Chains A and B, each alone.
Chain A
Amino acid sequence: MRALPSSRLFWIGLAAFLVAMALPLYVSGYVLGLLTVAYYTAVFAMSWDLLFGFAGEVNFGPTFLIGVGAYTAGILDAQFSPGISVYLCIVAGAFAAVVGGVVLALPALRVSGPYFGLTTLVAVLMLQNFVIVAASLTGGEIGLAVPDVLSIDATTNYWIAFVFMAVSGAILYGLSVSPIGLILQASGQDKVQAGALGFNVTKHKLAAFIVSAFFSGLAGALMVFYMGTASVGTFIDVAVAVQIIIAAVIGGRRTVIGAAIGAIFLIGMGELLRPLGELATLIVSVIALAVILFFPDGFVGMLRGGAKA
């Protein structure tokens, strides 16, 4: 009985995987480009879910980590290209996001409740202002043009994003069901009790933050070299952060995989409804609201619920 929902999820996952593999054969480069962005966003959302769903910390600033990763990689490339490898820039971006994450998490984890979220939100605004003020380095409001890209071929870019998402998803999901994920959940739910059971709550939450920062920064850096440009509006703006959070919540928080589904859904819906103009945003928002109100466990919750009934 208990294996049923998870096995059903497994089959759905396998089917989705096969469809994603076959897609480049059938769809246009435009759709592949869209999915490429959706896959990177999926990694943002999964990283966020590890922090919120498991460690119980609402990070309102996922774009702080993403932005640090994206801009570090982009600036390095813009300054030193062609003397620097794109891959070195990407690794540096991920590393910078981890450092930024630790710098943010150490003070932020000392405060509790809504203050953690506020601290992360302020970090986003600070980064955004820094990018705008230091325009000579960052390209400011116009954006940063990056001389190199990963590939000019849409299919190659699609594969890079897809494999990256699949590997990140596997690692993040594996982590969430491992003993570490259990301890994180226990810490998120009742940190006094987790402490009384001998677990160092701060250490575990910091580790979750580092992992979240690593994948966010890596995804941000990869996306810069896919797009060939970095701008505040795509990587740092609070609206981006809100989209990531909504993606994770409507997909099903505390599932990791749900966050990826939510992200692909949001980006896909946004595109499908694009002919409707401003109305599209409204429709997507209404759908998101309905899911949050009626299916608090999101899409994955719906799938599991269906299996049980």
Chain B
Amino acid sequence: MTDVRNAPMLEVTNLTKRFGGLVAVKNLSFSIRPGEILGLIGPNGSGKSTAMKSIIGVERPSAGSVKLDGEELAGLPSHRIARKGVGLVFQHSRPLARQTVLENIKVALLPDKLTRVFADKDVDGKARAIAGRVGLSGVLDRKPPTLAFADLRRLELAKAIARHPKLVLVDEPFAGLTASEVADFSDLIREFRDEGCAVLLVDHNVKSVSALVDRVLAMYLGEWIAEGTAAEVMQNETVRRVYLGGALVSTARPESSFSDKSPALQVENVGVTYGKALALQDVSLHVHEGEFVSLVGLNGAGKTTLFNAISGLVPHTGEIKWAGAPLRGGTPAQIARSGIVQCPETRELFGDMNVRENLDLGGNALDDKERTERLEWMFDLFPILKARQTQLSRTLSGGEQQMLAIARALMMKPKLLILDEPTLGLAPVILETLSKALDRLRETSDITVLLGEQNVTFALPHADRVYVLDHAKIVWEGPPDRFEAEAAEHYL
């Protein structure tokens, strides 16, 4: 008996997924036994989501095998895989808005048949039972748009339960939930385990899933880097290096060295909600003129939201002051002209324009002489762009695109440059080039930089001061050299 129990339910062997030249998942192997919860963690771009999508068949694996109870799943379309017993609890749900909660659960109970014009009679009872199990009984007749965020997540869980999965994949189980909701959800996920399901939790760090998991597998740049209990993985050297960076050569300038009395940028008690999800809660930070500040946080912590609030792109509560004056009420264009330029995570280049045209657009407001000087300076900072002037920007490599995005932002002569995850998806060798450019920027100009990063290795060396953002809140502030000792627990 115990042998059967210990035979793995899910067995992933040498799973590889390539997108063109990019290898998102490389030779990943792991297994989950029935009644076991495995946490699959890795920073943004580590390939964990791609690995999950390859298991459920949303992405077709390039190579390798995914076996459920000995049966090969790799290469099947996702609906076939789902019917073999794999359930997925989505992070972002788009339930049927015009149907009630009960009807939404019923959808998941329907067979994949075109001949079934009438639903089976027992569907209603089953749907109610499932709703009771996940705690939706009180809102059965409401429509999803009127539900609280946690209830929407419960609905996702209910739909997964309805398919009686043998293997349950949960994407970021606790994102956007309050502490008591996290406890409820943990219990619901444990029920899967107690029923003998294999459970895979996908999340950014060990901390968020440590209370729940039996084992953790950490990924970085598409590869397996560590596996073991939550405590073991947290102590693992490679994991610590990936999340916390190695030995740090800090060149931070102390805060007292900035001469301005009141900081150039003051963010005071800012809060942002997206519909029902809390994206920022009571966030306060400040940046002095000429200072380089890094805002460190994992994907989903709220970095981009904060930047968008500063740039006037999302409504917020609280106060944001720039050079002493409140920004509230300004349009994004006015805020950008006042000297705050954001270089977004998504880069937003004009793909069908060449490098030079992108840069000229950035320097559109400057007169000819100034623009020429600025261009010279930019080509000095990023020599590769000079050679690529006539190339269409969408044909550039990821690293070159990022440099162009930064260069275009700098063409606007910003006083404050907001860089949102410049390292996203870039190879280590490119990071070095970017790193050098930032160093030169710091040494040769009086620009102020607010850098949002989850890559600590990149964020810390450039920072005079560091803030850690975790689950919509600032949880730590300090100089980079104290980060590992004091803030690592928020991060691993």
Contacts and interface: CB of A to CB of B under 8 A. Distances in A.
Given A196-B78, A197-B159, A198-B79, A175 B117 contact: yes
B105 to A, nearest CB: 11
A110 interface: no
A45 interface: no
A195 B86 CA distance: 11
B99 interface: yes
B94 A193 contact: yes
Contact of A179 (B77, B88, B116): B116
B58 A182 contact: no
Contacts of A180: 114, 116-117
B83 interface: yes
A189 B96 contact: yes
B96 A182 contact: yes
B83 A198 contact: yes
Interface size class on chain B is 20 to 34
Interface in A194-247: 194-201, 203-204, 207
A180 B88 CA distance: 22
B480 interface: no
Task: Say what secondary structure dominates the interface of chain B.
Answer: loop
B114 A193 contact: no
A260 interface: no
A144 interface: no
Contact of A189 (B79, B94, B119, B141): B94
A261 interface: no
B102 to A, nearest CB: 11
B444 interface: no
Nearest to A2: B141
B126 to A, nearest CB: 14
Nearest to A175: B117
B79 A182 contact: no
A200 B110 contact: no
A203 B115 CA distance: 12
A261 B108 CA distance: 32
Interface residues of A, number: 26
A303 to B, nearest CB: 15
B482 interface: no
A174 B117 contact: yes
Interface in B185-210: none
A200 B83 CA distance: 10
A201 B96 contact: no
Contacts of A196: 56, 58, 78-79, 82, 87-88, 90
B99 A182 contact: yes
Contacts of A2: 141
B57 A197 contact: no
Nearest to B114: A207
A204 B118 CA distance: 16
Contacts of B83: 198
Interface of A: 2, 174-175, 178-180, 182-183, 185-186, 189-190, 192-201, 203-204, 207, 254
Given A179-B116, A183-B110, 8 more contacts: A175-B117, A178-B118, A179-B110, A182-B106, A186-B107, A192-B58, A196-B58, A196-B87
27 contacts: A178-B117, A178-B118, A178-B119, A179-B116, A179-B117, A179-B118, A180-B114, A182-B96, A183-B110, A185-B96, A186-B107, A194-B79, A195-B58, A195-B78, A195-B82, A196-B56, A196-B79, A196-B82, A196-B88, A197-B82, A198-B83, A198-B112, A199-B79, A199-B110, A200-B112, A201-B79, A203-B114
- 6 closest Cβ contacts across the A-B interface? A195-B78, A198-B82, A196-B88, A190-B94, A198-B83, A179-B110
